[in-house]
Structure 1
């Protein structure tokens, strides 16, 4: 008995006892963590969301078999996700990392609501961006084509002779079928924007046409097709629309821009939580 008491008083015994207790505690705690880490829970809220999603898609509640299939699918997804995290794919795989980053970005965007603009906000936005609301310039033209493949070196001379004749006639609405050559595009182009003319004739022709004086024949004007004579019927420089006409559109644009700014602030806030080290 005295020997046992002596052993119990030894510091080495105390050290071994404390070490054994720590080991048992660590093992128990570690087993608990591992057990919890390998437990998949599908709670009632998740099941309810699955059922609601099913009803929205199929316009009816799921059968018992379909419900079981949805739950099994949810379990399968959670198992695969948990496995991916354990494998470190969220850190090592670029595609997985990008998708998780996009998911966080989308969640943040979904939580952000743009504030309602005041009337002063809309007026200022209109003043700052009013040129964006101006309707594009348009021209109405008649063109007569002279084919260089057919006329060769005489193309410009023929066009100039026709120009003199047309100016003497002074009839922009006359019959020009006997003047010029056959062409795949029409002669008359009413109320066309710069982009529409460029799409048909190219940049050089378009630039020339929008600089021409209205009410007379001009030429020769060159395009990628050949040589043209052009009569400018009118040249519309459209005015800015009144503020009241575009107010609803202004409101939508203002709110969209403000939401984008708030989303950027959200990302900047997340980034501010970290120290960024770029190794050279």
Structure 2
């Protein structure tokens, strides 16, 4: 009896049990497995991966519009004033401060644009140098242009006044020093003696005082004469008639009797005489135009924020060694 109870169940009973389990189906998946199989999760993961790779390859792509804002603080304006005073100048006027601010903004814009172009790579140089590189780029673009002769001639016709040659005088002089009494009277007395004599008469040179520079000047322009003798002397020389001793004319050294050999009036040279200078001036103008247009386009992308100049206290920055501007000084 006992042996019969210990026997395993018949095969038919096992098959019925398996049949019952197949009808009920497999056990349901866990919540974690269900999420791992979700297509939306796969999409989000792929998107995050793509975004991470993009950010890695484009580290500056997430910049906001705030990077295009140049905000100067009151401390910045005070620093500009300090730099101004460090040069031994009085307090800057309002117009001068505006110019300093514009210069600072210009440097900041050009340096940012230079960095955006990658000009700062492997280059440990200050912002001003970066701004200069941007300036050089515009100059290089201009130098790539090669104007033809017809274009240069047309440009020269419109700008010929820039190449006008000043009048020139060739003259010799006799010098009477301030160090000796009655210099002007001595010059006037000598003029009576040498009047009507040629400029190269040997005895003429012995009647005056030794001069530290030249006795004869050939083809000198007014600014060249003014640089050596003073503007009043230069103006008087060009009012003299050639071919006779005249004077006395005062300079910064003393009194002079002057014999003008010739005066060449001012004139506009022919294009062929100044063609290389015309091309150089044309390139300079093109460079200026390209720089201006490029800078205006770059500046338009920036918002400049500057506190009112009147709200900054510059009083404590006064340089006691420098005079105070009488008009237009910033509020203190």
* TM-score category of the 2 structures, normalised to the smaller one: 0.5 to 0.7
* Aligned ranges 1:16-31 → 2 under 5 Å: none
Q: Following the alignment from structure 1 to structure 2, what is the Cα–Cα distance between the partners of residues 97 and 185?
A: 47
Is 1:276 matched up with 2:303?
yes
Check conservation: 1:117, 1:254, Cα contact below 8 A: no
| Aligned residue among 281, 292, 306 for 1:253 | 281
TM-score, structure 2 length as denominator? 0.52
Q: Following the alignment from structure 1 to structure 2, what is the Cα–Cα distance between the partners of residues 270 and 257?
A: 20
Shift of 1:226: 1.1
Task: Give the corresponding residue for 1:215.
Answer: 243
Task: Give the corresponding residue for 2:159.
Answer: 129
* Aligned ranges 1:167-178 → 2 under 5 Å: 167=195, 169-175=196-202, 176-178=204-206
The CA deviation string for residues 126-178 of structure 1, in whole angstroms up to 9 with x for no partner, is 2232233233321121211112322x1x32222111111111x4322212133
Check conservation: 1:117, 1:255, Cα contact below 8 A: no
Q: Following the alignment from structure 1 to structure 2, what is the Cα–Cα distance between the partners of residues 243 and 107?
A: 30
* Aligned ranges 1:1-280 → 2 under 5 Å: 5=28, 8=31, 96-107=126-137, 109-111=139-141, 113-114=144-145, 116-117=147-148, 119=150, 121-150=151-180, 152=181, 154-167=182-195, 169-175=196-202, 176-272=204-300, 274-280=301-307
CA 1:126/1:149 → structure 2, altered by over 3 Å: closer, same or farther? same
Shift of 1:99: 4.1
* Structure label with greater radius of gyration: 2
User: Aligned residues, how many?
Assistant: 219
Greater RCO (Cα-Cα under 8 Å, separation 6 or more): 2
SS in 1 for 2:262: strand
The CA deviation string for residues 86-137 of structure 1, in whole angstroms up to 9 with x for no partner, is xxxx8xxxx6444444444544554553263562x43332223223323332
The CA deviation string for residues 189-226 of structure 1, in whole angstroms up to 9 with x for no partner, is 22222233223222222222122222222221111111
Check conservation: 2:246, 2:257, Cα contact below 8 A: yes
Q: Following the alignment from structure 2 to structure 1, what is the Cα–Cα distance between the partners of residues 206 and 134?
A: 69
Shift of 1:7: 5.7
Shift of 1:277: 3.7
Q: Following the alignment from structure 2 to structure 1, what is the Cα–Cα distance between the partners of residues 162 and 58?
A: 56
Check conservation: 1:114, 1:259, Cα contact below 8 A: no
Shift of 1:236: 1.2
Structure 2, unmatched stretches of 5+, are 1-23, 60-114, 308-332
Structure 1, unmatched stretches of 5+, are 39-84
Shift of 1:184: 1.6
TM-score, structure 1 length as denominator? 0.60
Q: What is the Cα-based RMSD across aligned positions, in Å?
A: 4.1
CA 1:133/1:102 → structure 2, altered by over 3 Å: closer, same or farther? closer
Q: Following the alignment from structure 1 to structure 2, what is the Cα–Cα distance between the partners of residues 142 and 109?
A: 46
Q: Following the alignment from structure 1 to structure 2, what is the Cα–Cα distance between the partners of residues 31 and 216?
A: 91
Shift of 1:248: 4.8
CA 1:100/1:6 → structure 2, altered by over 3 Å: closer, same or farther? same
CA 1:103/1:21 → structure 2, altered by over 3 Å: closer, same or farther? farther
Shift of 1:179: 0.9
Task: Give the corresponding residue for 1:65.
Answer: none
